[in-house]
Structure 1
Amino acid sequence: MKLPRLAIFVALVVVALPLPGCSKRPGADGGAETVASRTTSSNPATPSAGRAAVWNHEWIRGAVFYEVFVRSFEDSNGDGIGDLPGLISKLDYLNDGDPATASDLGVDALWLMPVFASPSYHGYDVTDYETINPEYGTNQDFARLVEEAHRRGIKVILDLVINHTSAQHPWFVASASSPRSPKRDWYVWRADDPGWTQPWGGSNRTWHERNGAFYYGIFWGGMPDLNFRNPEVRAEAERIAKLWLDRGVDGFRLDAARHMVEGGPGAAQNDTPETHAFWKEFSAYVRSVKPEAVLVGENWSETAVIATYFGSTAAVPGGDELPMNFDFPLADAIVQDVNAGDGARIAAKIAEVEADYPPGVEDATFLTNHDMVRLATQLGNDPGKLRSAAAVLLTLPGSPFVYYGEEVGLGNGPTRDDESKRTPMPWNASSGGGFTTGKPWFSFAPGQEAANVAAETGDRGSLLSSYRSLVRARRDSAALRLGAIELLSRGGPVLAYVRAAAGERVLVVHNLGAGAVRAGPFAVAASATEPLLIDSGVPEHPAGASGAFTMELPPHASGIWRLR
């Protein structure tokens, strides 16, 4: 979720704080009755009988996703704004469809940040859910993108922002026009301001005045929350989802998923039973339309809370709510541990996920996203730390998400605004960066002369080469894509584990520290080892007999070996 500049609260620190999603629903504090509570049922309806019972999306298992901000990726017409034709022209960089080549990144899926019509640069306040933002192209351009992506084996998921709309959306304009408007109950209104503030702290109010009444908008007044107690709104959300699924998309990233139905002030604006009931209903509908699709939840919280958003795996294998959810605590742990040179937090979070998550669900792992300080900035642009972070992410269980530019070490831009987390992609070191022939919509991040695709292509020691090699190692190893994990270390500069699946076992060892280390001995039963991917200076074969493997690792180096 992206807050507009006027609504930005306390600036994110180096390790980004959770940006809470959004909330919905009125009057639980005993204040004035809301329109919603008067005219709609108090709970979302249960999923219809006969809807598809199971998911059929094995493609997500271990898949590598790539998050793209279309505005900043590639401009095809020289107006300085990235667009869909530009993205199409760069698909071969992401995956050229030929497993034999090594010049592409090799990703399996794209997550497109909002591409619907919107008055804001970020697109998180939608005015039309059926139409592509004209700055990005047309619906026909989008159809071609999906076709070209699928031809290369790339899935496409969209950012679906349905917790709220823009205040300029025709629905809200009609809703605000009169208490008797047919759209009045599509949003959450009440006669007075109950004084709620945002649940993540601070003094910003969540009720906003318009025409003598107050409407709920957890982020700010320009983003009024939809009323998901209203069956018409729930049905409209399903219709929108079906529209884009029918247009070929492979699923949705669900913005602010914790806040669909609010129950009162403070923490009651998060994680309500009604929110979970809505996601069960929506999930069942999506399965009935396209069981191959995926839903990925943005639930920025602790592991135990995130775990609840998978729902029941007994009822539906993979989860009857959201079958993937972003692992914010693990992302934070990776960045902190790589900075500190100590893997204790990572090991603890892996154990926490193993304990708290339901069996058979898919973890959506990542390092940073569009709401967070860029990884390169957090790690001080240290090449070794950047390689370590990538190696950890791409060898852990789950489906990793790579934020565009992360693979070349793109850092934050020149300002403290969120735009600096979303600067144009540096394809080369020219004034237009290979991004545009015109003036970029926002300036390039510092360091473009070295951190760009052209400079790193062909350099076997570059960060880009590391990402390409790691993604290919995942593709070639069922254990890295799908395997269970056995931790071999729980603190210190060495982070080690075994991944195992489909009769294959691999030993993964990272040195997160700034000095060389002797790692091991590791109690791993094996008669031989085969190097799958090793950094420069790492031995091809660990020393020692079975059950007592050791190896010398240079600073910020990793090794992956198949165990025989």
Structure 2
Amino acid sequence: MTPSRRPAALLAAALAALACAHAPAGSSGAGPARATGAPAAPWWKGAVFYEVFVRSFADSDGDGKGDLRGLTAKLDYLNDGDPATATDLGVDAIWLMPVFASPSYHGYDVTDYLKVNPDYGTEADLDRLIAEAHRRGVRVVLDLVLNHTSDQHPWFRESASSRTSPRRDWYVWRADDPGWTQPWNPSQAAWYRRGGEWYYAIFWSGMPDLNYRNPAVREEAKRIAAHWLGKGVDGFRLDAIRHLVETGPGAGQSGSQENHVFLRELAAAVRAGKPDAVLVGEVWSETDDIARYYGDGKDELQLLFDFPLAKAIVEGVDAGDGGFTAHVLREVAAAYPPGAVDAPFLTNHDQFRVATQLANDAGKLRLAAAILLTLPGAPFVYYGEELGMQNGPGREDEWKRTPMPWDRSEQGGFTRGDPWMPLGPGHESANVAVESSDPGSLLSRYRALVRARKGSAALARGDAVPLSTPGSALAYVRRVEGETVLVVHNMGAGPLEIGGLEAPGAVAEAVFVDPGAALVRDGTGWRVVLPPRASGVWRVR
């Protein structure tokens, strides 16, 4: 197929950046040393996070359910603590989906915020996990579900027991049914009757919403956070924070200003207790709405999942069009406050896995990985994503959270017993044992990309300037003081050539390049050549 050619004007925005970027002579590529007296970047800026569903990661006792001891035994797979090795994934932090006591498999209906789910082990097991993770330089973030509890939580039982209960106002009650429905599902009610009155539960009747207009509830949330910070936890992923305080039906059930008031209060308390703790927010919404939860960039949350960007990456890779992703990157730059750090990802526990969305296409999965791990911010990888794990055969959430395949055996090395859920399709080939020994596997690619990111200050912590490259190209410049890298992805099924990049006297050094990718001299400028669905990252000085 004849390569498509792009005129020099399409990358004009890059030229000034490339021409003026001068790294110190003899730079090793690890990025310049921080200037004396300059503040250190927070640990989470540029960190690679790994989302773990403990129930599905590794089972230590053969009961078919993953547990904390199993996860601890597998920490070396995530990061062995030795930067010189290349057999671990190299992540900087792990986010544990809920590990508190709960009657459900998923744990988002908590019955005790201070007790570890017995299915997963004991508080001592969690203490050991945190200690072993820290010994390897890995931070631990807990999922903190503040919007609601289980209806089996002692607080709700007490609240529902009497209209005069001391905890009656810990939840949202009224004498009549106002008829509100879920804002995303108008056919599903949001008010439920108990004891002659109605309580509010936006997700379902078994998860009643807490009342954050009550100061006692706000103080309890801060006390719970302080407890776990005192145990060594490094931060929290905050679930469903658009829905903390509702003001009315429909639009009033999401994004009220009172949400922000409480989150600023919580953030101040967390930072007072542990200044470097991170708060990661789930705001499943559009870019402008997500941006509001950063506050002024310093007083609310530090990281927010970028749902529009995730959608743009996956759909763009599938369609072979870089414009989707470039558009959202520009939206983010315009909407987010100064200092805000994005949290890009591909899919999470509520979505069909990226391997399923991309029809298990190896080239597309390799491309999606390269885009995710060369973007600015703090990227999140969903467990098994690095293997190409596919969804199970059903649409229920359980099929998005099946056991991690460690080898090609029937139980996938996950358990000695019967796994709580069947392993996903294709686990016989998409597993850790097979892919670890294959330098061309998706796992090997993730490992290499994480290491490339760590070896470049610009990739890890730099800003991003998207370039105007219509069609199958996606290109951006990543910069920090003293280092500039040019990132180019070919989203298409055919080869790509971009010519006429004028950067006189510049020297290019490969940071991460796929076979056949090249940045070469072309008369007075540069020419980028990329095979189908290939990526190239070059340091320019």
DSSP 3-state at the match of 2:521: coil
DSSP 3-state at the match of 2:369: helix
Cα deviation for residue 432 of structure 1 reads 1.2
Equivalent of 1:146 in 113, 130, 144? 130
Cα deviation for residue 414 of structure 1 reads 2.0
Distance in 1 separating the partners of 2:40 and 2:516 = 43
Equivalent of 2:91 in 102, 107, 114? 107
Distance in 1 separating the partners of 2:181 and 2:393 = 31
Equivalent of 2:356 in 374, 377, 382? 377
Partner of 1:311: 295
Partner of 1:13: none
Cα deviation for residue 489 of structure 1 reads 3.0
> Residue by residue, what CA displacement relative to the aligned partner does 1:144-183 show, whole Å, maximum 9, x if unpaired?
0000000000000000001100000010011111101111
**Would the aligned equivalents of 1:488 and 1:522 in 2 still touch at CA under 8 Å?**
no
Partner of 1:217: 201
Distance in 1 separating the partners of 2:222 and 2:172 = 19
Equivalent of 1:410 in 380, 389, 392? 389
Distance in 2 separating the partners of 1:138 and 1:424 = 21
Distance in 2 separating the partners of 1:301 and 1:522 = 37
Amino acid corresponding to residue 238 of structure 2 in structure 1 = L
Q: How does 1:109-124 map to 2 (within 5 A)?
A: 109-124=93-108
Q: How does 1:326-475 map to 2 (within 5 A)?
A: 326-475=305-454
**Would the aligned equivalents of 1:376 and 1:406 in 2 still touch at CA under 8 Å?**
yes
Distance in 1 separating the partners of 2:371 and 2:80 = 25
Partner of 1:556: 533
1:179 aligns with 2:163: yes
Query: Which range moved further: 246-255 or 447-456?
Result: 447-456
Partner of 2:174: 190
> Residue by residue, what CA displacement relative to the aligned partner does 1:249-276 show, whole Å, maximum 9, x if unpaired?
0000000011110000111011111111
Cα deviation for residue 201 of structure 1 reads 3.2
DSSP 3-state at the match of 2:165: coil
Amino acid corresponding to residue 458 of structure 1 in structure 2 = S
Partner of 1:544: 522
**Would the aligned equivalents of 1:543 and 1:551 in 2 still touch at CA under 8 Å?**
no
**Would the aligned equivalents of 2:486 and 2:537 in 1 still touch at CA under 8 Å?**
yes
Cα deviation for residue 524 of structure 1 reads 4.8
Structure 1 residue runs of 5 or longer lacking an equivalent are 1-54, 314-318
Quickly say closer, same or farther: Cα 1:200–1:138, change in 2 above 3 A.
Answer: same
Quickly say closer, same or farther: Cα 1:520–1:206, change in 2 above 3 A.
Answer: farther
Q: Which has the higher contact order (CA 8 A, sep 6+)?
A: 2
DSSP 3-state at the match of 1:243: helix
Distance in 2 separating the partners of 1:279 and 1:416 = 33
DSSP 3-state at the match of 1:555: coil
Equivalent of 1:254 in 238, 241, 248? 238
Cα deviation for residue 193 of structure 1 reads 0.1
DSSP 3-state at the match of 2:343: strand
Quickly say closer, same or farther: Cα 1:526–1:85, change in 2 above 3 A.
Answer: farther
Partner of 1:132: 116
Partner of 1:22: none
Partner of 2:491: 512
Quickly say closer, same or farther: Cα 1:80–1:285, change in 2 above 3 A.
Answer: same
DSSP 3-state at the match of 2:416: coil
Amino acid corresponding to residue 309 of structure 2 in structure 1 = L
Query: Which range moved further: 143-152 or 496-505?
Result: 496-505
Equivalent of 2:514 in 535, 542, 547? 535
Amino acid corresponding to residue 117 of structure 2 in structure 1 = N
**Would the aligned equivalents of 1:57 and 1:291 in 2 still touch at CA under 8 Å?**
no
**Would the aligned equivalents of 1:57 and 1:293 in 2 still touch at CA under 8 Å?**
no
Amino acid corresponding to residue 528 of structure 2 in structure 1 = M
Quickly say closer, same or farther: Cα 1:166–1:520, change in 2 above 3 A.
Answer: farther
Percent identity of paired positions between Structure 1 and Structure 2: 64
Partner of 1:28: none
Distance in 2 separating the partners of 1:255 and 1:389 = 25
Amino acid corresponding to residue 554 of structure 1 in structure 2 = P
Distance in 1 separating the partners of 2:123 and 2:45 = 30
Quickly say closer, same or farther: Cα 1:143–1:484, change in 2 above 3 A.
Answer: same
Distance in 2 separating the partners of 1:523 and 1:408 = 39
Quickly say closer, same or farther: Cα 1:519–1:60, change in 2 above 3 A.
Answer: same
Amino acid corresponding to residue 544 of structure 1 in structure 2 = D
**Would the aligned equivalents of 1:348 and 1:490 in 2 still touch at CA under 8 Å?**
no
Distance in 2 separating the partners of 1:407 and 1:556 = 17
Amino acid corresponding to residue 259 of structure 1 in structure 2 = H
**Would the aligned equivalents of 1:56 and 1:291 in 2 still touch at CA under 8 Å?**
no
Cα deviation for residue 487 of structure 1 reads 1.9
Distance in 1 separating the partners of 2:381 and 2:481 = 26
**Ranges of 4+ aligned residues in structure 1 off by more than 4 Å:** 523-526
Cα deviation for residue 57 of structure 1 reads 7.0
Equivalent of 2:49 in 65, 69, 75? 65
Partner of 1:478: 457
DSSP 3-state at the match of 1:58: coil
Quickly say closer, same or farther: Cα 1:562–1:402, change in 2 above 3 A.
Answer: same
Amino acid corresponding to residue 294 of structure 1 in structure 2 = V
Amino acid corresponding to residue 63 of structure 2 in structure 1 = D
Cα deviation for residue 488 of structure 1 reads 2.3
Cα deviation for residue 366 of structure 1 reads 0.4
**Would the aligned equivalents of 2:192 and 2:200 in 1 still touch at CA under 8 Å?**
yes
1:229 aligns with 2:213: yes
Cα deviation for residue 218 of structure 1 reads 0.4
Distance in 2 separating the partners of 1:277 and 1:523 = 50
Amino acid corresponding to residue 236 of structure 1 in structure 2 = E
**Would the aligned equivalents of 1:531 and 1:560 in 2 still touch at CA under 8 Å?**
yes
**Would the aligned equivalents of 2:499 and 2:522 in 1 still touch at CA under 8 Å?**
no
DSSP 3-state at the match of 1:204: strand
**Would the aligned equivalents of 1:57 and 1:292 in 2 still touch at CA under 8 Å?**
no
**Would the aligned equivalents of 1:297 and 1:324 in 2 still touch at CA under 8 Å?**
yes
DSSP 3-state at the match of 2:474: strand
Amino acid corresponding to residue 330 of structure 1 in structure 2 = L
Distance in 1 separating the partners of 2:437 and 2:505 = 36
Distance in 2 separating the partners of 1:525 and 1:561 = 16
Amino acid corresponding to residue 207 of structure 2 in structure 1 = M
* TM-score (ref. length: structure 1): 0.88
Distance in 1 separating the partners of 2:346 and 2:317 = 11
Cα deviation for residue 490 of structure 1 reads 3.8
* TM-score (ref. length: structure 2): 0.91
**Would the aligned equivalents of 1:56 and 1:292 in 2 still touch at CA under 8 Å?**
no
Cα deviation for residue 551 of structure 1 reads 2.5
Cα deviation for residue 545 of structure 1 reads 5.0
DSSP 3-state at the match of 2:370: helix
Cα deviation for residue 445 of structure 1 reads 0.5
Cα deviation for residue 526 of structure 1 reads 5.5
Partner of 1:316: none
DSSP 3-state at the match of 2:43: helix
